[in-house]
Structure 1
Amino acid sequence: MTTAAEQIVPDSEHRGLVARLPQPLRDYALLARFDRPIGWWLLFWPCAWGVFLADGARQWHLVAWMLLGSIVMRGAGCVYNDIVDADLDRQVARTAQRPVASGRVGKKAAWAWLGTLALIGLVVLLQLRWQAQLVALGSLALVAAYPFMKRITGWPQAWLGLVFTWGVPTGWVAVRDGGLGALAALYAGSICWCIAYDTIYALQDREDDALVGIRSSALTLGGHVRAGVAAFYTATIAFWVLAFWLVRPDPLALVALLPVAVHLAWQVVTLDVADGGNALARFRSNRTAGLLMAAACLVVGSASLL
C-alpha cells in the first residue's frame, strides 16, 4: 500500500503540513500543488514587477489581490495540466504518484476542483480595472495550449515563459496606460528568466523525458545546458536594463538591478547539471531572485514619480 508520504511528490516543500491533512483533502492540496509554494511565487513576482515598475509603492492592495490570484490560478493551471498529462505522468518517476495519474482523484472530481479555483480567480479578476481584465483573460488560450507544447516542440519552456510571466502586462495595465516600450522590455526579460529557470528544473527529468518522448529545453540543449541558462539569464538582465532605462533614464537606476544580476550569475556558476538536488535548489532560489527584482522595480518605479 502507498503511504501518505510516498504520495507526496519528491520536490514537495511542506511534507509535514500536507501529510497531516485527511486523505481526500491531501490529494486535492497536492493536485493544486499547495505543498509546493515556489510555483505561485514564480507566478506572483512578475505581477508585482509590473505593478511596482509602473506605479511605485501606491498599489499594495492590488499586489495583495494578485498574490491571492497567483495562488489559486497556479493551482488551477496545475490541475488542468495533470488532467491533460495523466497518461504521461504515469510514465515519469517524479510524477507517477500525482493524484490524477495515480487514480486517487478522478478526472470529473479534478474538473470540479479546477472550477472552484477558477471561481476564486474570477473574484480576483473583478478587482482589476477593465483594461487589465482583458489582458488577464488573454492568457487563457496560452494556458490551455501549454500542456501540449512538450509534445510538439523542444522548447516548451519558451511557451511557459509566455504564460507564467503574463502577470507583467496584467500588473502594468492594471495601474498605467502608457509606457508600452518599458512594459515590452520587462516582459521579454521575464520570459527569458522563466525559460532559464525552467530549463534548470527540467534537468531533474531528462532521462525519463527522453524515454517517454517528452521534450524540454534541457534535452534540446544537451551538453550545453549551463551555457544556455547563462545566455537566457544574460538576455534577462539586458531586457530589464532597457525597461528600467525607459522608465527612468538615469545610470543610478540601473544599480538597482545589481543584486538580482549577481544572484542569477551565482545560479549559473554553482549549477551542477548532473545533480537533480542541486538543480531543484537552484530552481527554488528564483523565489529570492523574484524578491530582489521586486525591490528593484519598487525603487525605480517610486523614483520615477518624483
Structure 2
Amino acid sequence: MIRDSLQPAPAPAEQPLAPPDTQHRGIVARLPRTIRPYALLARFDRPIGWWLLFWPCAWGVLLAGGGDRWGLIALLLAGSIAMRGAGCVYNDIVDADLDARVARTALRPVASGQVSKRAAWVWLVALCLVGLGVLLSLRWEAQVVALASLALVAAYPFMKRITGFPQAWLGLVFTWGAPTGWVAVRGFDGGAPLAALYAGSILWCIGYDTIYALQDREDDAMIGIGSSALTLGRHVRAGVALFYGGAVLLWAAALWLVRADGLALLALLPMAVHLEWQVATLDSDDGGSALARFRSNRLAGLLLAAACYVVGNAGVG
C-alpha cells in the first residue's frame, strides 16, 4: 500500500518535472523519474535551505565550546537535511493552492499533481522518522528544546495568509538550531550569550528571506499573501541593512559575553563585511541578483561558524 501511495501522478508530457528555480543537477538529476519528484518535494535539489537551517545549530555548538564535538555537528547536519525536507513537504501540502497560482512555484510536485497529497504525507512521516533518530541521540535537555519548536513549525505556513511579515515567524523557526546546539553541549547553562546569538540569528533570517521574497513580489501581491519584501516596498534595501546590522550587533554581544576581548570582534569582521556586500550590491528589481545574494548566505554561515569556533574554543566565560 505504501509503495502504491508513493507513486507520483504522471506529469503532462509538455510539463517539466522541476520548477524553474531549481538547482536541478547532480545526484537529483540522475534519480529515476518515479523517485525524482520526492527529492524535489523535499528540496534536495536546493541545498541552500538545509545549510541555512544547519548553520545556527553549528553556531550554538561551537560558541558553547563544542569545537571538538564533530559527531554532534554531523548529527545536527543530518537532522537539518531531514527536517528541512520535512518542513518543505508540509509547507507544500498546506500551500498547494497558492503554489499553483505563482509562476515560480506552480511546478512544485504537489501543486502540479506529480505527487498526491496522500503520498506527500507518507514522505513527510519518513523524513520525520530520520529527524526523530537524530533527536533521540541528543541529551535530554536538547530534546526538550528541539521539541518546543514544533508548534512554531506547524504554524509557519499559515503566517503569510495573516501577516505582512511572515519572515519574522520564519526567523523564530529556522534558527531554532542555535539554542538546540548550545543546550546539546552545555545544558541550560549560560543563557545570556545564547539569547544574543539566537536573537541575532532571527534578524539574519528575516534579512535573507526578505531578499529571497523579492522574486515573488508581483505574484504575492496578486494573490493577496504577505511578505516583508512587499511590506517594505521601496525601502527593502534599507530594511535588510537594518536587520543585518542588528544581527551583527547582537552576535558581537554574544561573542563578547563568551570572550571579552578584541578577538571576539575581530572574528566577527568577515561575516559583517560579507553582509554589507550583500546589501551594497543587491538590486531589488533583479530576481537573479536577489537569488544570488540569498544563496551567498551559505558562505555567511560558514564565516560566523569560524568566529564561534575561535571564540568558543578559547573557553566559555
TM-score (norm 1): 0.97
Counterpart in 2 of 1:120? 130
Counterpart in 1 of 2:32? 22
Separation in 2, partners of 1:168, 1:201:
22
The reply to whether residue 236 of structure 1 matches residue 274 of structure 2 is no
Contact 1:183 1:243 in 2 (8 A): yes
Counterpart in 2 of 1:195? 206
Separation in 1, partners of 2:227, 2:71:
37
Counterpart in 2 of 1:39? 49
Q: Deviations over 1:11-48 (max 9, x none)?
A: 21233542332222110000000000000000000000
Counterpart in 1 of 2:120? 110
Separation in 2, partners of 1:130, 1:101:
38
Separation in 2, partners of 1:142, 1:2:
39
Counterpart in 1 of 2:268? 257
Q: CA deviation at 1:2?
A: 4.5
Separation in 1, partners of 2:122, 2:316:
45
Separation in 1, partners of 2:246, 2:316:
27
Q: CA deviation at 1:56?
A: 3.8
Once the two structures are aligned, what percentage of the paired residues are identical? 73
Structural mapping, 1:1-306, within 5 Å: 1-2=12-13, 6-176=16-186, 177-304=188-315
Contact 1:56 1:300 in 2 (8 A): no
- CA pair 56-255 structure 1, distance change in 2 beyond 3 A: farther
Instruction: State the SS of the aligned residue for 1:24.
Output: coil
Separation in 2, partners of 1:3, 1:293:
44
Q: CA deviation at 1:104?
A: 1.1
Separation in 2, partners of 1:89, 1:305:
46
Separation in 2, partners of 1:295, 1:191:
19
Q: Which runs of 5+ in 1 are unaligned?
A: none
Separation in 1, partners of 2:176, 2:81:
14
Contact 2:237 2:282 in 1 (8 A): yes
Q: Deviations over 1:251-288 (max 9, x none)?
A: 22210000000000000000000000010000000000
Separation in 2, partners of 1:2, 1:133:
46
Separation in 2, partners of 1:262, 1:16:
31
Separation in 1, partners of 2:143, 2:240:
33
Root mean square deviation, CA, Å: 1.2
- CA pair 56-119 structure 1, distance change in 2 beyond 3 A: closer
Contact 2:263 2:311 in 1 (8 A): no
Separation in 2, partners of 1:305, 1:248:
7
* Aligned-partner residue type, residue 47 of structure 2: P
Structure 1 segments, 4+ long, off by >4 Å, are: none
Q: Deviations over 1:66-91 (max 9, x none)?
A: 00000000000000000000000000
* Aligned-partner residue type, residue 293 of structure 2: R
* Aligned-partner residue type, residue 106 of structure 2: A
TM-score (norm 2): 0.94
Figure out how many residues of one structure are paired with residues of the other and give that number. Answer: 305
Q: Deviations over 1:199-256 (max 9, x none)?
A: 0000000000000011100000000000000000000000001101111111222100
Instruction: State the SS of the aligned residue for 2:304.
Output: helix
Q: CA deviation at 1:55?
A: 1.4
Q: Which runs of 5+ in 2 are unaligned?
A: 1-11
Q: Deviations over 1:166-223 (max 9, x none)?
A: 0000000001131101000000000000000000000000000000011100000000
Q: CA deviation at 1:139?
A: 0.7
Q: Deviations over 1:96-135 (max 9, x none)?
A: 0001001111111100000000001100001100000000
